[in-house]
Structures are given as C-alpha cells and as structure tokens.
Amino acid sequence: MTRVLDRTILDRRQWLAGAASALALPSLGGGAQAQSGQIVVSNWGGDWNDRTNRLMEKPLVEAKGIRIVHDLGLEPERKSKLLAERKLPRGTVDIAHLNDSDAFEMDGHGVIEALDFAKIPNGKDIVPALKKPYFIPWLYSGVVIIYNRDKIKEPPKAYKDLWDPKFAGRIGLTNQLYFNYMMIGSLIEAGNLTRVEKGRERLAELRAKSNPRIYATHQQMQAALASGEVDIVLNYKARGLQWTKDGLPLGIAYPQEGAVAITFGAVMPKKAPNKEAAYAYLNAMLDAKAMADLAAASFYAPANGVALLDADLKSRIDFSEAERTRLKFPDYGYVAKNTAEWLEWWNKNVARN
C-alpha cells in the first residue's frame, strides 16, 4: 500500500527530429532486475501523482515488492531538500521528479547521481537528443493559450495578445508555471528567453492592468475555467487536452511567438538510501506500455522512442512540423542561475493577493 507523507513544487534540431520519432517507433520492451525494499519518491501531487501511481508505480514497481512512500509538494521544495541533504551521510529521497531546467540546476550543484545506464535497460529507447547522464526524460509539452470557445470568439493568437484590455479580468495563471511566464515575458519583449529582467516588466503591467487570477494548482485552474471565473489561461497543451476530454469547451491556440517547451522527468539524489530500487523505478518510467498509457491519460508526449501511440492520439498530443520548428527551449544555465530570484520576484509582485 502506498503511503503519502503530509507535505503540500539541445540541440534544437536533434530534439525536434527525435521527438517526432518518439511518437512513431515500435515497442522493443525491456526490464530491470528485481530490487526490493522501500523508496521515497518526491513528486507533484494531484492528478499527476495519481496517474504516475496507477499507470507506472503500482504495476511496475510496487508489484516487484518495492514499497513506495510519496513525498508530495512543489518543485522548489524538492530542490531545497536536495540541497539541504547534500552534506548528510544519507539522504531521505530516492527519486525526485523535476523538469529539465531544474534537473540541470541540481546537477550543477552536484547533488544528483550520474546514472549507470547499464542498470536502466529501457534507457536505450530514450530519444538520443533528450538523453542526459543525470536525468531520465519522461514526458514533454509546450505552453500554449487555452481559452473557452463559447466565450472567446476572437481568441488571442500570440502571448502578447493577453495584454489587450478586452481580456482584463478574464485571464488565469498558476504559480506552478512561474518560470515559464517569466520566459514568456522575455520572449515578448526581447524575442528570446534570456532577457527576463525586461520581460517581467510586462508581467508587472499585466498584474496591474488586467488583474489575472492566480491559482496554486492546475486543478484549481481547471475548476476556474469550468465555473467561468476565467476564460483564458496559459498552460501546457497537454493540460488543455486533458480538460477538453473532461468536457470543457476549450480551444488551443499555438502562440505566434512560438511555445515555450518543457520536459518532465526524474533524477536520483547522490545520497539516495536505496539506489538499486531507485534504478528499478527509473527503468519502469521508460516502460513502453506505461509511457503509452500515460500519454493517453495525460496528453503529454512520451520522451522515449518506443511508446505505441495510435494515429489519432499522436495527432492530438504532437505539435505540427511548423509548430515544432518554433518551440522555444530554455537556456538551462540561464534558468539555473536565475530561477531562485525569479520565484522571489514572482511571489512578491504577481502571486500576492
């Protein structure tokens, strides 16, 4: 029985080619040796953790006799714990779910393990351009404009359109995507993702003039769209597809500036107490069937090359060729250097009541 602790955060062309192939290649299978014991998995909560547990952890990890204890919260909390435990002889976390930028940051601090891919047989199926020595890529998407089709007859075509006064009071943002919004501001102002100091002036203007509603979680944002509290949000394409499946009358607009891309995955802390069982977990993340099931349930595209997706699902979760060429990938070094200061600024200037 899974326990939950009571805690409540490339090469561009290579990546594009690899991501496209990830949605089309046949299954090759694979599995790791049976490890045992208990592992602590630090992850987001909500439906993200529910899907992870139902479609991957229970059938592929717990079924092998590995007991999972969940440590659920937001990403900054996970990073803080990894940093706080780096001088301890033994840590408390075996697996930490992170996005690609935060994994890069933690690797720079020397707190996560350089992975032995001989212990991750399914690692051979990772899209080559996504493979990193310290990070298991899992699912990816991009930040798009999601709107209520019944209420927004002329939807925004670009990120910058949300600053139009006609959308004032109708916009929703989530604290979980603060770093994406910071880079979107930079993209609007400077045409790239590395001038956040200019872009956040735009965010301050949006906060002052349009009074966007700020939500703690994706689930709260979905509820706000359902109730009519907001009509437009900036979130991952995968979330818009999930909410449409749930019955909301939503449209999705790919921003003219290009969508900010995101990859989610997991790392193993250097001080992980049960590394062998953690390797079994990382291998299970890349299981061909589990990844296909997760893609079908979440509408995030899988980051390995063997998940079997039918043509209809592929067409919905994938980006078109033109859209893929305009995906905007973070400069991981820039994000790692600035993300703590960004979060402080966001909390003081945007997330405040």
- pLDDT tens for residues 279-311? 999 999 999 999 999 999 999 988 887 887 888
φ, ψ of residue 210 to 5 degrees: the values are -110, -10
226 burial level (CB within 10 Å; 0-12, 13-18, 19+): middle
Vertex 350, ends 235 and 150: CA angle to 5°? 40
SS3 state of residue 26: coil
* Residue whose pair of structure tokens reads 């890069």 in the numeric block: 104
Residue 34 pLDDT grade (very low, low, confident, very high; cuts 50, 70, 90): very low
Q: What are the tens digits of pLDDT across the range 127-154?
A: 887 789 999 999 989 999 999 999 999 9
Task: Indicate the range of 78-92, 125-139, 154-168 predicted with least confidence.
Answer: 125-139
Q: Is there a contact between 162 and 156 (Cβ–Cβ < 8 Å)?
A: yes
Mean pLDDT calculated for residue range 251-260? 97
Note the Cα 64 to chain centre separation in Å. 27
Q: What are the tens digits of pLDDT across the range 210-241?
A: 999 999 999 999 999 999 999 999 999 999 99
Percent of the chain with pLDDT over 70: 90
Between the alpha carbon of residue 298 and those of residues 123, 195, 276, the distances in Å are 22, 32, 28
Mean pLDDT calculated for residue range 71-80? 92
Q: In angstroms, rounded to a whole number, what is the distance separating the alpha carbons of residues 155 and 244?
A: 16
SS3 state of residue 20: helix
Q: Is there a contact between 160 and 188 (Cβ–Cβ < 8 Å)?
A: yes
Identify the pLDDT of residue 146: 98
Q: Is there a contact between 55 and 290 (Cβ–Cβ < 8 Å)?
A: yes
Identify the pLDDT of residue 13: 44
Confidence check: pLDDT of 353 > 90? no
Identify the helix (H) or strand (E) that includes residue 277: helix 275-285
Confidence check: pLDDT of 33 > 80? no
SS3 state of residue 43: strand
- Pick from 321, 317, 287, 282: nearest CA to 304: 287
Domains in the chain: ranges and CATH: 3-140+262-318 (3.40.190.10), 141-261+330-349 (3.40.190.10)
Identify the pLDDT of residue 35: 62
Confidence check: pLDDT of 16 > 80? no
Identify the pLDDT of residue 307: 81
- Pick from 183, 172, 196, 30: nearest CA to 100: 183
